[in-house]
Amino acid sequence: MSNIVDARGRSCPEPVVMTKQAIEGFNGKPIQVLVDTMVAVENIKRFVKNQGFQVEVEENNEEYSLHIRK
């Protein structure tokens, strides 16, 4: 089971801050971040890659799911 961060409805930088907290508590399990704006997707992708993680993005009905793993 993955760690899920639901940042839908939040304005930047809050989704990035929530993702940062999840990464700080990284336990080896994939992290899934849910957002609803492309701005949040781009900001989180940039942050995650700078932290040495890999990220994949899925879009579903104008919502985005970012799958983060080491």
The architecture that CATH gives domain 3-69 is 2-Layer Sandwich (3.30)
Mean pLDDT value of segment 51-66: 96
The closest of 22, 27, 29 to 47, measured between CA atoms, is: 22
In the prediction, which pLDDT does 2 show?
A: 61
- Does residue 1 surpass a pLDDT of 50? no
Q: What is the mean pLDDT of residues 27-41?
A: 96
- Could you tell me if 23 and 60 are in contact, meaning their C-beta atoms sit under 8 angstroms apart? no
User: Which tokens go with 35?
Assistant: 């957002």
Question: Could you list the active site residues?
Answer: 12
Domain range list for the chain: 3-69
Q: Where is 65: in which H helix or E strand?
A: strand 63-69
Question: CB–CB of 44/66 below 8 Å?
Answer: yes
Residue-level pLDDT at 12: 87
Q: Say if residues 33 and 21 touch (Cβ distance below 8 Å).
A: no
